[in-house]
Amino acid sequence: MDAHGEACQEADSSLLALLDCLAEYQGARASSGALLRQGFFDLAVARRSAGYRWISPGRHHGNARCTASVAIDGHSGDIRLVRSGSGHAPDTAARVADDCDQGVRRRRHQHASDNEGSEGAASQLPPEESECAPADPDDPLLWFGVLVPPALRDAQGRFRAALDQLVRLAQLKAQLAQRRQQAQRAIEAARA
């Protein structure tokens, strides 16, 4: 193969790599957009139950530090999301809430059983089953109070997931720029 053929092949492969990256970028765009849309909906539901003024950026503490930040790899320039504190993942938070509900149900059921005369059942229940995990003091959800609407908790989960996707988008944007430059150089070389 001559030099021109090789340059054309190089240009083709660069363009294919660019298009692959573009497809990934658009996929991440779609998923982040869907998560944000669901987050906005959950936020609206939470506002309906807690009040419009209550759920606003004004609740942010003046001295609050971020719990979600990014780390840039010094070697490759890769960006990744870092969560600080002991914040629960959204699914963990939901599971903890479910466990709490179940604990209440168990106690209620147990109370009913006691009334029926089955004494001593309380001692059979392991203590950890009726305990909830302690709340993370840095959790932004606590700015809105201790008993927040479940929809606000859902909204937080959606926005956290969306943030993961947005950081991935930032990463893909950098890759796209790099591949676009490579493709441009390869095309110019093929034309020369």
Binding site for another protein (CB under 8 A): 18, 22, 25-26, 29, 32-33, 36-37, 39-40, 43-44, 55-57, 59-77, 79, 82-83, 87, 140-141, 152, 155-156, 158-160, 162-163, 166-167, 169-170, 173-174, 176-177, 180, 183-184, 187
Cα of 56 vs its chain's centroid, Å: 20
- Beta-sheet pairing, 68-72 with 79-83: antiparallel
Minimum CB distance to another protein, residue 152 (Å) = 8
Minimum CB distance to another protein, residue 5 (Å) = 22
Q: Between 65 and 115, whose beta carbon lies closer to another protein?
A: 65
Q: Between 5 and 33, whose beta carbon lies closer to another protein?
A: 33
Minimum CB distance to another protein, residue 75 (Å) = 6
Q: Between 22 and 133, whose beta carbon lies closer to another protein?
A: 22
Q: Treating both helix axes as pointing N-terminal to C-terminal, what angle do 150-191 and 90-116 enclose, rounded to 10 degrees?
A: 160
Q: Between 2 and 73, whose beta carbon lies closer to another protein?
A: 73
Give me the amino acid identity at 162: A
Minimum CB distance to another protein, residue 165 (Å) = 10
Strand partners for 82: 69
Instruction: Name residues whose C-beta falls within 8 Å of residue 137's C-beta, 6 or more positions apart in sequence.
Output: 85
Is residue 70 within 8 A of residue 126, CB to CB? The reply is no
- Residue 90 and residue 159: Cα distance in Å, rounded? 10
Helix or strand or coil: residue 138?
A: coil
Look at phi and psi of residue 80 and say left if phi exceeds 0, alpha if psi is from -120 to 50, else beta.
beta
Structure tokens at 166: 């947005």
Is residue 155 within 8 A of residue 55, CB to CB? The reply is no
Minimum CB distance to another protein, residue 173 (Å) = 5
Q: Between 100 and 187, whose beta carbon lies closer to another protein?
A: 187
Minimum CB distance to another protein, residue 102 (Å) = 26
Q: Between 64 and 104, whose beta carbon lies closer to another protein?
A: 64
